Amino acid sequence: MFTGIVTDMGEIIALDQQGDLRARIRTSYDTGGIDMGASIASDGVCLTVIELGPGWYDVQISAETVSKTNLGTWVLGKKVNLERALKVGDELGGHVVSGHVDGVAKVISVADEGDSTRVQFRAPEALAKFIAPKGSVALNGTSLTVNEVQGAVFGVNFIPHTKDVTTWGTVAVGDDVNLEVDTMARYVARLAEASS
């Protein structure tokens, strides 16, 4: 489990397609304190550490994960949002995030509003019912509050701090982003379907 509070911006420093996609991620985390097999959310996708070195770790990404996320667009030098798994007693600053991406949303507009940036996304139609104004979503692993919703289009406001400590400072129209809907919204929708 994660919180959607990004704690490092990593960088893709190696990619190798060997049946599954293998990626090496440079990090400022103390890799001496990361266990083999640990889960680290990388752009919101829960990935398992399979090898470690000073300042880097490797993950293996299945074809299924590549097909359901934006990880297939990773290139050398790409910055990625990182978060280590939640530990009992940690502060839950965002919302409960599983690292299991529901789909890919597309950035359809980016506009500066004062020091902040308003971004609109188009969600896959099947996921739109789970997105509500003032509700939570995780986008590329970042816990965010939804401002407005119109059908499958929803907007989010990024404050300067978020743009500085995550990859959202370089967001552009046309970007594909990993979308995880709020777990509670999913269960409420399922209960509503069951009672009708």
**pLDDT tens per residue, range 145-190:** 999 999 999 999 999 999 999 999 999 999 999 999 987 777 677 6
Mean pLDDT across 95-100: 84
Q: What is the pTM (predicted TM-score) of this model? A: 0.92
**pLDDT range class, residue 6, cuts 50, 70, 90:** very high
Q: How many CB atoms lie within 10 A of CB 91?
A: 8
Separation of alpha carbons 135 and 181, rounded Å: 9
Specify the residue for token string 């500085």.
164
Mean pLDDT across 112-117: 95
- What residues contact 124, with CB distance under 8 A and at least 6 apart? 102, 103, 104, 105, 152, 179
Q: Please report the domains of the chain, with CATH numbers, ordered by start residue.
A: 8-84 (2.40.30.20), 103-195 (2.40.30.20)
Amino acid in position 60 = Q
DSSP β-bridge partners for residue 18: 20
Average pLDDT value over all residues in the chain = 93
Is residue 196 predicted with pLDDT exceeding 70?
Answer: no
The DSSP annotation for 157-176 comes to: EE-HHHHHHSGGGG--TT-E
